[in-house]
């Protein structure tokens, strides 16, 4: 009697093979190498205060990188994400300082505007079939113009300040931009927000139906539609998620510095994408992880502050960005190819 071949979906896969096909593998290895290098060269870098120092920029970058990773897994880009952090921060500070809004109410208005822009981006992409690169580039330029034009019209400068005097500032700052003491070292509360965003995004991707939809529309949108996946709604929700993350980061930065410049966030959108790519996301969509994007942000934070601790010229950071992008892209391609071979 012939024995039936076991279903390949039930086949046991070894631990090493499971690790090798994880999208964040390259980011983990890169983080260990970067930490080991700077820690061996600088005692301050590996001290608790040093760790708090480089986790701070990693946190705000990581919140955005995780949201951008979800969008990239869904097969789209958002070039307006960076300038959106400035837009929401300007809304918060302007409403609270010039029109007497409570800080919490001003933040809600900023959230509503961000979600509306995200919805508009998603709707434009899904209805017109235009590349998200073009749609969000247009949004980027419009928001940049609004930020500069409105700020100059209201203040005569490119900055709005004075948030510390607004009602509700202390409680909002404590929740979003305060610090916590751990072992005698102060850490930014934003780190906790970053961890929470990463945990929620990971759960959505790995444990929810929405996560299946994200991977499906990013891998093959037409096939996803054919099996009943609401591709349009999924992509709109992803653009709104990115906008919501930009609102959170914009609010954190505004509450931290109590002022906002009209050009804040411009150029950061590429940093978010690079962090997501370093974390294992493919530019073609359908592959990646939230944890990988968070680790990519850690690498940026370590390099950003590590170069300063070593007394190097800050221009070397740009070289590092380019090198990491190329290495991550090559690594992701190899890992993806290996993953496909394992499946077959």
pLDDT at 146 over 60: yes
| Cα 318 to Cα 230: distance, rounded to the nearest angstrom | 40
331 pLDDT more than 90: no
Tens of pLDDT along 150-193? Answer: 999 988 899 999 999 999 999 999 999 999 999 889 999 999 99
Task: Check residue 285 and give left, alpha or beta (phi > 0: left; psi -120 to 50: alpha).
Answer: left
Residue 14 has pLDDT above 80, yes or no: no
Mean pLDDT of 222-235: 94
Q: Averaged over 187-209, what is the pLDDT?
A: 96
pLDDT at 4 exceeding the cut of 60? no
pLDDT computed for residue 38 by the predictor: 92
Least-confidence region, from 76-85, 122-131, 247-256, 302-311: 302-311
Q: What is the pLDDT of residue 130?
A: 95
Mean pLDDT over the full length of the chain: 89
**What pLDDT, on the 0 to 100 scale, is given for residue 23?**
78
User: Mean pLDDT over residues 108-130, rounded?
Assistant: 97
Residue 319: its pLDDT value, please? 85
What is the rounded average pLDDT of the residues 133-153? Answer: 96
The reported pLDDT for the residue numbered 24 is: 81
Lowest mean pLDDT among 9-23, 96-110, 304-318: 9-23
Looking at residue 13, what is its pLDDT? 52
pLDDT at 18: 66
Q: How far apart are CA 30 and CA 34, in angstroms?
A: 6
pLDDT at site 17: 64
What would the pLDDT profile of 19-50 be if each residue is shown by its tens digit?
A: 666 778 778 888 898 899 999 999 999 999 99
Name the DSSP class of 228: T
| Structure confidence at residue 6 as a pLDDT band (50, 70, 90) | very low
pLDDT for position 8: 35
Q: Give ∠ CA 178-305-198 in degrees, rounded to 5.
A: 55
pLDDT of residue 60: 96
Q: What secondary structure letter does DSSP report for 75?
A: T
Alpha helix ranges (H) inside the chain: 15-20, 25-41, 43-46, 48-73, 81-98, 103-128, 132-155, 169-176, 190-207, 209-219, 221-226, 231-257, 268-278, 290-309, 316-343
Percent of the chain with pLDDT over 70: 90
For residue 27, what pLDDT is reported? 84
d(CA 271, CA 159): 23
Q: Average pLDDT for residues 208-215, to the nearest whole number?
A: 95
* Tokens 């509360």 belong to residue: 189
pLDDT for the residue 326: 82
Measured between alpha carbons, how far is 133 from 47 in angstroms, rounded to an integer? 41
């Amino acid at each position: 009697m012939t024995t039936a071949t076991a279903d390949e979906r039930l086949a046991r896969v070894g631990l090493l093979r499971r690790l090798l096909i994880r999208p964040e593998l390259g980011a983990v290895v890169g983080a260990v190498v970067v930490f080991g290098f700077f820690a061996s060269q600088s005692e301050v870098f590996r001290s608790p205060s040093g760790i708090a120092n480089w986790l701070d920029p990693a946190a705000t970058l990581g919140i955005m990188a995780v949201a951008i990773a979800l969008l990239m897994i869904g097969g789209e880009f958002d070039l307006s994400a960076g300038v959106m952090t400035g837009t929401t921060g300007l809304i918060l500070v302007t409403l609270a300082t010039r029109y007497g809004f409570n800080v919490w109410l001003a933040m809600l208005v900023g959230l509503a505007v961000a979600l509306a822009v995200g919805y508009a981006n998603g709707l434009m992409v899904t209805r017109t079939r235009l590349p998200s690169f073009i749609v969000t580039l247009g949004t980027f330029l419009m928001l940049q113009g609004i930020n500069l034009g409105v700020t100059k019209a209201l203040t005569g400068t490119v900055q709005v300040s004075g948030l510390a005097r607004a009602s509700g500032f202390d409680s909002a700052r404590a929740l979003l931009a305060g610090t916590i003491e751990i072992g005698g070292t102060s850490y930014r509360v934003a780190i906790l927000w970053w961890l929470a965003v990463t945990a929620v995004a990971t759960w959505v991707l790995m444990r929810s139906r929405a996560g299946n939809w994200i991977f499906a529309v990013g891998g093959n949108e037409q096939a996803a539609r054919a099996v009943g996946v609401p591709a349009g709604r999924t992509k709109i929700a992803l653009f709104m998620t990115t906008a919501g993350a930009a609102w959170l980061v914009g609010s954190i930065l505004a509450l931290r510095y109590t002022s906002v410049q009209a050009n804040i966030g411009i150029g950061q959108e590429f940093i978010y994408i690079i962090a997501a790519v370093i974390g294992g996301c493919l530019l073609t969509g359908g592959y990646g992880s939230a944890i990988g994007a968070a680790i990519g942000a850690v690498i940026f934070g370590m390099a950003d502050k590590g170069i300063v601790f070593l007394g190097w010229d800050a221009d070397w950071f740009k070289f590092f960005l380019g090198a990491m992008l190329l290495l991550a892209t090559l690594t992701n391609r190899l890992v993806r190819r290996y993953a496909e071979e394992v499946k077959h």
